[in-house]
Amino acid sequence: MKKACVFVALLLVLFLSVFGVQSQLSTDFYSSSCPNVLKVVRREVFKALQTEMRMGASLLRLHFHDCFVNGCDGSILLDGSDSEKLAAPNLNSARGFDVVDTIKTAVENECNGTVSCADILAIAARDSVVLSGGNSWKVLLGRRDGLIANQSGANSGLPSPFDSINTIITKFNNVGLNVTDVVSLSGGHTIGRARCVLFSNRLFNFSGTGAPDSTMDTDMVADLQKLCPQNGDGNVTTALDRNSTDVFDNHYFKNLLNNKGLLSSDQGLFSSADGVAATKSLVESYSSDSSLFMTDFVNSMIKMGNISPLTGSNEEIRKNCRVVN
Ligand code: HEM
Ligand SMILES: *[C@@H]1O[C@H](CO)[C@@H](O)[C@H](O)[C@H]1NC(C)=O
Ligand SMILES: *[C@@H]1O[C@H](CO)[C@@H](O)[C@H](O)[C@H]1NC(C)=O
Ligand SMILES: *[C@@H]1O[C@H](CO)[C@@H](O)[C@H](O)[C@H]1NC(C)=O
Ligand SMILES: *[C@@H]1O[C@H](CO)[C@@H](O)[C@H](O)[C@H]1NC(C)=O
Ligand SMILES: *[C@@H]1O[C@H](CO)[C@@H](O)[C@H](O)[C@H]1NC(C)=O
Ligand SMILES: *[C@@H]1O[C@H](CO)[C@@H](O)[C@H](O)[C@H]1NC(C)=O
């Protein structure tokens, strides 16, 4: 009897060591329940990018902001006074919600009640990268949708461009991501735009020095001072990856080597003393080796997409991404 118990326990340990640590998500999750879902999402993302190339960046960011707040559970898509949409990092900033609605409608028409909003964000993020010129990967699927938004969690957990690099590293560590992920995923800023209010502190009187941030290229300072005058419209935008705006490539890292990072948190990866020089050497590597950047970016996207997913019969598959069923 005792022997049998030990045997069963050993089997269990073996079973868990083989399967337990594996993600519960799989790339073929919808292969029989919704075989065309990838085509449908891709078609809708393609249409959205034809209308506005920047939408690829906006969709990529939605997946990131979803995953960092209590896992990839579609929580960022929920409407309401307690929504994550109203948290500081998202207010007047996160965009693409209408496009997600359009994708969801198309997916529901294909196979209703089957594909989660959280998975739609993961697929749309991948398609956005690919349609912008980046490498592709197989998206792990099978996430389910959460029932609650977490506005305070969004305020505290999402990185701010005013955070130090060490604080940003800590926020990534808190969701199971490391320094490599910080730098590779920051490469997401190879597409998209940011508003003056998020970097204008660098342009005139940086940290009370009476001068612009010395780690910003002087021509770029002059140009941005015109675009973002003091007391001007803080919602005016400019490219995160100057001179390579809509292309998913490693130009973002080349810019950092030339003091042309837009956000303090971008340039800090190369110029700050934080991160024990690890971020700086990764920036250098990615700037000279675009395939290393793409490989690491893809691996980090898969890691980020694996943050605390709801699986099995937990919670629900939302019918409308904005409200719980
Ligand atoms: C490392 C810490 C990060 C910080 C501090 C940060 C901060 C920001 C800020 C301030 C903006 C501009 C928002 C606005 O103008 O309203 C932005 C935009 C963007 N972020 Fe990040 N971000 C970070 C990491 C990431 C990651 C991990 C991704 C995805 C892999 C990402 C993807 C994007 C994209 C694509 C945009 C442009 C969105 C658009 O044009 O609509 N960011 N980010
Ligand atoms: C799918 O749509 C049909 C027809 O409108 C409806 O009867 C069914 O309940 C829906 N299934 C789910 C899971 O939403
Ligand atoms: C909201 O997020 C915070 C920070 O991650 C966490 O401590 C808290 O438990 C979350 N609240 C809910 C209701 O999930
Ligand atoms: C980060 O994690 C990945 C595996 O997920 C690993 O390959 C990489 O070496 C780690 N980077 C650091 C700096 O620890
Ligand atoms: C810059 O900011 C500091 C501290 O806020 C202030 O004392 C100083 O007068 C400012 N300098 C200029 C040139 O505005
Ligand atoms: C940006 O626009 C929104 C909506 O019009 C407005 O409420 C907000 O105050 C503006 N933000 C800045 C920094 O100008
Ligand atoms: C880079 O972009 C900036 C801002 O859009 C523009 O003023 C500048 O002329 C561009 N430089 C080159 C070399 O294309």
130 and 201 housed in the same domain: no
The pLDDT tens digits of the residues spanning 92-119 come to 999 999 999 999 999 999 999 999 999 9
Tell me the residue length of the chain: 325
The pLDDT tens digits of the residues spanning 235-277 come to 999 999 999 999 999 999 999 999 999 999 999 999 998 766 7
For residue 15, pLDDT over 80 is answered with no
Catalytic hit among 63, 65, 251, 260: 65
For residue 28, pLDDT over 70 is answered with yes
Q: Which of 117, 139, 157 is the last residue of a domain?
A: 157
Confidence of residue 23 (pLDDT cuts 50, 70, 90): low
Domain annotation covers residue 318: no
Q: Would you list which residues are annotated within the binding site for heme b?
A: 189
Number of domains in the chain: 2
Ligand 7 site-directed mutation target among 196, 242, 245, most atoms within 8 Å of CB: 242
Q: Is 180 in the pocket of ligand 4 (CB under 6 A)?
A: yes
141 and 199 housed in the same domain: no
Known active-site residue 65: yes
Domain boundaries, position 95: 28-157
On average, the pLDDT of the chain sits at: 94
Instruction: Please report, for the domain that includes residue 259, its CATH number.
Output: 1.10.420.10
pLDDT of res. 6:
42
For residue 27, pLDDT over 50 is answered with yes
**CA 67 to chain centroid:** 8
Dist CA 105 CA 87 (whole Å) = 26
Cα–Cα nearest to 60, from 324, 298, 319, 322: 298
Instruction: Please report, for the domain that includes residue 148, its CATH number.
Output: 1.10.520.10
pLDDT of res. 48:
98
Ligand 1 site-directed mutation target among 132, 168, 240, most atoms within 8 Å of CB: 240
Ligand 3 atom index nearest CA of 174: 5
Q: Is 101 in the pocket of ligand 7 (CB under 6 A)?
A: no
Q: How many CB atoms lie within 10 A of CB 23?
A: 13
Q: What percent of the chain has pLDDT over 90?
A: 91
Q: Is 197 in the pocket of ligand 6 (CB under 6 A)?
A: yes
pLDDT of res. 233:
98
Q: Which of 157, 183, 202 is the last residue of a domain?
A: 157
The pLDDT tens digits of the residues spanning 129-162 come to 999 999 999 999 999 999 999 999 999 999 999 9
For residue 176, pLDDT over 70 is answered with yes
Q: Is 234 in the pocket of ligand 6 (CB under 6 A)?
A: yes
